Amino acid sequence: MKLSRVVARAGKLSRPFRVTNGRRFRLTDVDPGDALDFGGKDKSRAVEELAQQVEALSQLQERLYAQDRWALLAVIQAMDAAGKDGAIKHVMSGVNPQGCQVFSFKVPNSEELDHDYLWRCVRCLPERGRIGIFNRSYYEEVLVVRVHPELLERQKLPAAVRGRNLFQERFEDIRHFEHHLARNGTAICKFFLHMSKEEQKKRFLARLEEPEKQWKFSAVDVRERRYWNQYMHAYEDAIRSTATAHAPWYVVPADHKWFTRLVVSSAIIDTLAGLDLRYPEPPPSAKRELQAAKEELMKRRT
C-alpha cells in the first residue's frame, strides 16, 4: 500500500485518542474496550493493517535518520500488564535497530537518587535522526510517587523545596522540559495504555497459569491493584496537566492488545508524517563527485 494512504489511515486511527489540551480531559471518556470500527473481534484485519504500518514506519524512520534533524521521543506509561512491552516489540519490529533506542526506567538506584529526577531520562534522550522509546519515564514521578508518597523520602530533597504543591510544580517542570525539547527538534508523543481493572485481573491470572508467562508475574503487582483508583486519579491529573499540542498524550484503549498496537504505531506514523521528513539533497559539488565516481567505476572491467 502506498505510504500516503497508510499515513492517512494512521491519522484516522490515532487522532480520536489524542489529547492536545488537557483542560477538559476525563479518563472516563475513553473506554478501555474500544476498538473503533474493528468492533472488538476483527483481530486479523488489525494485524494486517499493523503489518502495513510497520513497513511504513520503517520508510519514515529511514528518512528521519538520513535527514538527521528531528528526533522522536515516545513515552509509554501504563499499569502492569497493559501491554507496554508487546506494543514496543510489535510496533518497532520493522525499524532498523540502529535508528531506535529503547530505555526502561525502574525504581531509581542510589546514583539516580543523587540527582534531580529528570537527570536519568535526559541522559537517554534520542539524538537527532533517532526514535527513542521510554518504557516508563519521568512521569513515574507524578504517578507511583504520588500514590506512594513514602517514595519521596528516598529522594533526599531538602525540606525547603518539599512544599505542598510539589506535584503541581513537577507538572510545570515537565511541561517546560517538553516544550524545551520540542523547540529543539524533538517531536514527542506520550502514551497511556488504558486497560480496565477486570482485564488486568485476567492477564495476571493468565500469567499465573501459563508457564511461559510466569516470569512476568510479581506478587507486588497484585498488591498494587489496591491502589487502582489512586493511580487512575494520578494518571488523569498528569494527562490534564501535561497534554499540549507539541507533546500530546494518546490515551489508548488497552483491553485488546492488537488494537493498542495499531493505535500506538498509528500515532508514531502520524507524528513522523507531520515532520516533513526528506532525504537530504546532495549539493551540486557532491553531484559532480558522484558522477565522477560513477564514471570511474564504469571505466574498469572489474
Q: What is the contact surface with ligand AMP in residues (CB under 6 A)? A: 80, 105-108, 136, 140-141, 144-145, 151
65 or 138, CB closer to ligand AMP?
Answer: 138
C-alpha dihedral over 151, 153, 156, 160, to 10 degrees? 120
- 140 belongs to the binding site for Mg ion (CB under 5 A): no
Report the nearest approach of Mg ion to the CB of residue 125 (Å).
24
Three-state secondary-structure class, residue 48: helix
Q: Candidates 16-24, 79-87, 129-137, 247-255: pick the segment binding Mg ion (CB under 5 A).
A: 79-87
CB of 225 vs ligand AMP, minimal distance in Å: 13
Instruction: Please tell me the distance from the alpha carbon of residue 19 to that of residue 68, in angstroms, as a whole number.
Output: 28
| Residue length of the chain | 302
Task: Report the residue closest to ligand AMP, judged by CB.
Answer: 140
Judged by beta carbon, residue 148 or residue 294, the one nearer ligand AMP is: 148
Residue where the block lists cell 516533513:
276
**Among residues 79 and 174, whose Cβ is nearest to Mg ion?**
79
Question: Cα–Cα distance between 176 and 170 in angstroms, integer?
Answer: 10
**Cα–Cα distance for residue pair 276/193, rounded to 1 Å:** 28
80 touches Mg ion by CB under 5 A? yes
Q: d(Cα 194, Cα 98) in Å, to the nearest integer?
A: 30
- Whose cell is 499540549? That residue is 244
Take residue 149 and report the three cell numbers written for it: 508518597
The residue among 102 and 144 lying less far from ligand AMP, judged by its C-beta, is 144
Which of Mg ion, ligand AMP, none does residue 102 bind to, with CB < 5 to 8 Å depending on kind?
none
* Shortest distance in whole angstroms from residue 261 CB to ligand AMP: 18
Written as nine digits, the cell of 263 is: 493505535
Looking at the Cβ atoms of 212 and 295, the one nearer to ligand AMP is 212
49 binds Mg ion (CB under 5 A): no
Q: Residue 102 region, left (φ>0) first, then alpha (ψ -120 to 50), else beta? A: beta
CA distance 280 to 77: 34
Site size for Mg ion (CB under 5 A): 1
Q: Which stretch binds Mg ion (CB under 5 A): 75-83, 204-212, 251-259, 281-289?
A: 75-83
Query: Residue 49's binding partner, choosing from Mg ion, ligand AMP, none, with beta-carbon cut-off 5 to 8 A by kind?
Result: none
Which residues of the chain form contacts with Mg ion (CB under 5 A)?
80
